[in-house]
Structure 1
Amino acid sequence: MKKNNPIPQPSNTSNEASLRLGRLILQLRKLESAPRVFGAAGALTPSEIHTIDAIGCDGGVLMRELADRLGVTKGAVTQIIDRLQEKKLVKRSPHPHVPKGILLSLTDIGMDAYRAHEEMHLAFYNKLRAAFTEEEIAIFEKCVTKFSEILNE
């Protein structure tokens, strides 16, 4: 006679944690879809400010290098750079040593947006540090790393 092996059911605690995690993911999605104001640059979408962040303030970056940093196609980078250039946040210039290379750099307003984005992240991390102990932060970071690894499997 064949034994029935029931599928183990998660505990109530697991269900609650799963629901909270689902809500957190929804909150993060909402944050990642809404434009925010970054200094004199005004309202920017998450993809715009993350592109500005990827260009950085260290000088310039090649279009193809930026596409690699962002994990998108060169065509996608071209579209977003067109928008950022129209908003006077990014400038294109020929690369002095790479034939057909386009060098991207931030304008003064783009640098202002970059700094405002950095300040926003710093304020957020300061809030976290005020709300959690060092041990809780270490556990949280470990959990986020493991969660990310599981999602990438």
Structure 2
Amino acid sequence: MQLRRLERQPQIFGEAGSFTPSEIHTIEAIGYEGGVLMSELAARLDVTKGAVTQLIARLEAKAAVTRSPHPYDSRAIVISLTEKGKEAYRAHEEVHVQFYDELRILLSKQEIEIFENCIEKLNDFLGSKP
């Protein structure tokens, strides 16, 4: 229940402002450099193209991403981060760094290894589910 609550809870990411976990993970999947095709983004996030379209619409409304036509394929759309999106990306990366810094303070090296091993096994387990 706590994870579900956290998944819906928006957070502030630097000067870029507030983003939900699904929005910030979409920004992360787009990547800091260059752009990504809408279909490739759906594959990276393991969601439908329709879900990605909705996420991108929300991120466009927040001025975090832009859509542009593919230079060679008129059917394809390229998604890129705006300066605001790049700021959110950097702030999100900093959240990860701070998280691991705090873990290093709270846990021993052996406990961190166990934690990372458990997370890897959980990811593998969840990835094998339909």
Settle same-fold status: TM greater than 0.5: yes
Quick check: 1:58 aligned with 2:33? yes
Partner of 2:10: 35
Residue 121 in structure 1 maps to residue 96 in structure 2 = yes
Aligned with residue 47 of structure 1, among 22, 33, 45: 22
Match of 1:105, SS state, is strand
Q: Which runs of 5+ in 2 are unaligned?
A: none
Q: Which has the higher contact order (CA 8 A, sep 6+)?
A: 2
Q: Indicate how the Cα distance of structure 1 residues 150 and 51 shifts in structure 2: closer, same or farther if over 3 A, else same.
A: closer
Alignment counterpart, residue 109 of structure 1, candidates 76, 84, 93? 84
- Secondary structure of the residue aligned to 1:57 is coil
What aligned pairs does 1:9-88 form with structure 2 within 5 A after superposition? Answer: 26-88=1-63
TM-score by length of 1: 0.77
1:92 correspondence with 2:77? no
Q: Within 2, Cα distance between the matches of 1:121 and 1:30? A: 19
- C-alpha deviation, 1:135, in angstroms: 1.2
Q: Corresponding residue for 2:109?
A: 134
Task: Note closer, same or farther for the CA distance 1:132–1:114 as it changes in structure 2 (3 Å cut).
Answer: same
Q: Could you say if the C-alpha distance between residues 149 and 90 of structure 1 is closer, same or farther in structure 2, counting changes exceeding 3 Å?
A: closer
TM, length-normalised to structure 2? 0.90
Query: How much has 1:150 moved relative to structure 2?
Result: 4.5
| One-letter code aligned to 1:92 | R
Which amino acid counterpart does residue 27 of structure 1 have in structure 2?
Q
Query: Share of identical aligned residues, percent?
Result: 58
